[in-house]
Structure 1
Amino acid sequence: MRLSRILLTIATALLPFAVLATTWLYLYPIFHGCGFPAALYEDGGHGMNAAVAPFRLLALGDPQLEGDSSLPKEGEAAFPSLQRLWALSISNPSTYRFLLTHPRTLHHTLRTLYSALLELTTQDLPRFIQTQRKKLDLLGNDYYLAHIVRSTRWWTRPSHIVVLGDLLGSQWISDEEFGMRAGRYWGRVFEGLEKVPESIMDQGMGRDIGHENDVHEVLGADKSWEKRVINIAGNHDIGYAGDLDEKRIERFERAFGRANWEIIFTLPPCNYTPSSDALETNGQQPTPESPEIPSLRLIILNSMNLDTPALSSPLQTQTYAFLNHIISTSHPISFPVTSSLQFNLLLTHIPLHKESGICYDDPFFDFFKEEEGGGVKEQNMLSEHASKGVLEGVFGLSGNGEHEMGRAGVVINGHDHEGCDVIHYVERTSAAKTDNKEDRGDTGGASAGNGGEDTPRLKEITLRSMMGDYSGAAYFLSAWWDPNAGGEGNGEWRMEVGMCKIGVAAWWWGVHVLDLLVIVLDGQYGTIKWHFLIFFDGMERGG
């Protein structure tokens, strides 16, 4: 009875901690204040009104689902040494009589037996234990990431979801391993969610250069976006430019969606009242296809082969063509760059170029050897040339011209696991120069350094990884149209970003181990108590 009381005492002492820890873990978005920033609207100069933003993007970076190609494949023996022992047929009684009458064969058999036993204890058993540990680690990591996705979606109710590249942990894995990890991605981490339908992505690939708008949707009209995941291609998914080939891009797009595409969300006409200064429609009501209605443009860009040399010239040409399509169909065709009617949200993987010391990662390039193709093998950021093309081409950020403030928008990417917030600004000089100002950790906004209010600028948010080593970060971007803001009250798009972390994966493991311990102890106490009751009942009956 003493043992049962000890177990009961331990379980009772641990129970409050288990309840508190489990409550915190499963309600952490509430306790940590996770949520989308409120949409603040100007109220005719009398103050600000708050509301729920119509566009709420849950952004996650670099989950990097791991695997281990060294693990035994399906059907492969876990203990090969035991098969060797069985092959000796020592279980057959006739074998013993044969061995006893043939000393040399007996000696050889004993040596084989010793070798097999040695292999069993020094190789097979350690490998088996390591295999089970790795499987448990992968399972726990998958459900840790799934817990972040499930909890943040439940509490914050995003309208859209994006994963900013490096969905998987390696681009060099086999097709079989790729399929297994993709299955875990959809079956565990993002269970119940789905990739964007190909019908939408195919229309938004920009194949027809010069076609102004491939895909238009009214923001909020299709609630299916709440269960869709926009997947960005990262280096661990398809490789850098030097090892990105057609095979890798094809398997990624089959499992996760197109590497390059776009979609434009327009505000419902009933939610937008244009001013006479903003529009000249001669009294006609705007339609969803009208470029004069405020719109939010999502640009999904494969930045893995923007830099050279590239292994596949056709794939790089496709990326360049898509980028040119984005540039050629931007709203300055209908409006000047200063127009605030369209908000451009560029989603990609590799961050733009920044000087050393601004973010955790410094500029870095490495290349394959000439005999291996000489292409880009690794890079921390885009080159200055590629970054300038994005800033000036997609966003119109230029120091030349009197009113070239750039298009409204933001760049969101991953790759640098530590995360970084930066303002890119361009000094107004005859020779335009792009510079950067560090603002690490403050996702709400950044100073543009020595640039004044009339300095062209653009915000770039590099997400901290959602992996356990980086505390499971999740980002919440709110975007909304404020009709009373902007110059002369013509309206403008506004954006705010928040971020919260669950904590390192050890917390997730610790809480579940504590819960399991309490359950086991409580169960053991019940089992022991039941055995004692049976024993004493039998004693009484026997007496």
Structure 2
Amino acid sequence: MHTSLLVLLLVLFTLANVLTSYLYLYPILHQCSFPAQPERRSPEGDIPPQIPPFRLLILADPQLEGDSSLLNPDYGYLPHLSNLWSDVSAVSTIGERLEVAGTHLRDIFAVDIPSILRSYRKRLDLIGNDYYLAHIYRTMHWTMFPTHITVLGDLIGSQWVSDEEFDRRGARYWKRVLQKGHRVEDERTEGIHIEPLPQDGSWARKVINVAGNHDIGYAGDLTKEKMQRYEKMFGKANWETRFSLPLEPLDQDQPELKLVVLNSLNLDGPVIDAQLQTDTYDFINEVIRYSRPVEDRTTATILLTHLPLHKEAGLCVDGPFIDYYGEEHGGGIREQNHLSDASSKGILEGIYGMSGSPDAPGKGRGRNGIILTGHDHEGCDVYHHLSDAEEAESRTWNAEKWNSSTTIQHNATPGIREITVRSMMGDFGGNAGLLSAWFDLDKREWQFEYATCALGQQHFWWAVHILDIVTIVLLNYVGWSIFRATKNGVEEKAKVKTL
């Protein structure tokens, strides 16, 4: 056997082992982790950093594509070949028949065959993309040990698909991308559900899905039929659940962490279905009505929704933008980057009860919490706060980059952090968000910290697996060659002994 082949095998084997190890251990090698609960001083002695009791793995905008990007079988795989005989028979002279046949043959090789190859390449790409997304979910799950999981909308790539294609993409989502994950049970999403904050892993496989525009459509597209098929496959679009954190003594109000899943796609109008919009606003009113008093800092609200709140252009990659259908299509919203200023204000002053008025309960500071959104694939991290006008009625909502808002966070101005989580798609680095929450016993309120972890583009995932396949094939070839050479050597020796 050639020495160069063995050298090549050694190089490939070493490279494949290194890159495959990186691929499956990248969160550890990148030193990714949920932010830890910081060290705490107490009369009994310093308490070292602890694992937070609430750890939310956040994935955004996987956007599973499907049959709309593949060859349409209704047109046939070789349409010019199937029409060749009929078109040739339609003309009478030999010259015309040769010309028609030549045109069809050229189209077969120039159009039909390349189209088939592109279709199969796209089919392979879809399968690879599913497993790339699955790799992110699976690797983050077994290395990071989240207590909860959410996907912030755009689970599939288009709201304009048939029911059959919607079901196929939904099946891929559950059986391939989020294998072993399952939707939250319906009984947990009806009314107000309260349970102790789980530490037994009982929520670690329940996927909290958020409705995105590619799942159900914008306000001008959202119909009852689209909502029904989404909720059947992925769970309710509007619901809340609460987790209590048992502390001694048990007879006092226990700290409570509230998760609110909100369909923000029909908060603004015009809408195509007014009842669906009414349902969303009724849900928000229920959230407000049954919340603890606004001055109660032992509770915190995590809002999970798809559309980011309104903010000025330049803070994030996506600026404020709303586009509408023409009157001939009902005039509803066709596309939307952010919620309107009015809808954002309704969330901040309604769900979170922020007013800035010193005469209001809790001095207008509002409820504690954090807002998590998707939609803007590049991601963004801002702090929404009231302006410092002297009259409370004159104050407006502004936003600043989170990293430059330290001064505002420490004054008395009401505000809240909104994290728009970067997409997990390969073009955006296969990102995942890591949110930690814990109850600060000294401040008597919940604290939040956020981190990210990215795999890298899908081309790397493909390259590593192709390298693995080539290495395995070459390893088998070399092994078989060595086996045959050894076998032949043994046979030759046996012949010599016989002679």
Instruction: Answer whether TM exceeds 0.5 for this pair.
Output: yes
Contact 2:69 2:122 in 1 (8 A): no
Deviations 1:207-242 (A, max 9, x none): xxxxxxx21111116633111100000111111111
Q: 1:75, CA displacement in angstroms?
A: 8.7
Deviation sequence 1:331-352 (CA, Å, 0-9, x none)? 11xxxx2321111010000011
Alignment of 1:44-443 (within 5 A): 44=42, 47-72=46-71, 77-83=76-82, 113-201=101-189, 203-204=190-191, 214-220=192-198, 223-268=201-246, 272-273=247-248, 285-286=250-251, 292-332=253-293, 337-402=294-359, 403-428=363-388, 429-430=390-391, 431-439=394-402
Deviations 1:316-361 (A, max 9, x none): 01001101111111111xxxx2321111010000011111111111
Deviation, 1:404, is 1.4
Q: Which residue of 2 aligns with 1:277?
A: none
Amino acid at match of 1:325: E
Shift of 1:122: 1.7
Alpha-carbon separation, structure 1, partners of 2:276 and 2:408: 40
Q: Flag the 1:511–1:23 CA change in 2: closer, same or farther, 3 A.
A: same
What is the CA–CA distance in structure 1 between the aligned matches of 2:308 and 2:47, rounded to whole Å? 34
How much does 1:109 deviate? 6.5
CA distance in 2, matches of 1:381, 1:339: 30
Structure 1 position 459 matched with structure 2 position 414 = no
Asked if the contact 2:387/2:396 (under 8 Å) is kept, the reply is yes
Any stretches of 5+ residues in structure 1 without a counterpart?
89-98, 205-213, 275-284
Alpha carbons 2:40, 2:49 under 8 Å: kept: no
* Code of the aligned partner of 2:454: K
Deviation track 1:170-189 (CA, whole Å, cap 9, x = no partner) reads: 11122222111111111111
Alpha-carbon distance in structure 1 between the residues aligned to 2:242 and 2:429: 33
| Displacement of 1:432 | 2.4
CA contact (8 A) 2:354 2:364 kept: yes
Alpha-carbon deviation of 1:463?
0.2
Q: Whole-Å Cα distance in 2 between the matches of residues 30 and 174 of structure 1?
A: 41
Tell me the CA shift for residue 51 of structure 1. 1.5
What displacement does 1:196 show?
0.5
Q: TM-score, normalised by structure 2?
A: 0.90
C-alpha contact 2:71 2:115 (8 A) present in aligned 1: no
Encode CA deviations 1:252-284: one digit per residue, 9 max, x unaligned.
11110100000011113xxx125xxxxxxxxxx
SS in 2 for 1:464: coil
8 Å contact from structure 1 (residues 41, 482) kept in 2: no
Aligned pair count?
487
Decide whether the 8 Å contact of 1:240 with 1:304 is kept in 2. Answer: yes
Q: Of the candidates 445, 449, 454, which is equivalent to residue 496 of structure 1? A: 449
Q: 1:498 to 1:452 in 2, by over 3 A?
A: closer
Instruction: Give TM-score scaled by structure 1 length.
Output: 0.83
Offset from partner CA, 1:462-507 (integer Å, 9 cap, x none): 1011111111111111111122x22xxxx21111111111111111
| Identical residues among aligned pairs (%) | 44
Residue type at the aligned position of 1:273 = E
- Provide the aligned C-alpha RMSD in A: 2.8
Query: Structure 2: which 5+ residue stretches go unaligned?
Result: none
Moved more, 378-387 or 31-40: 31-40
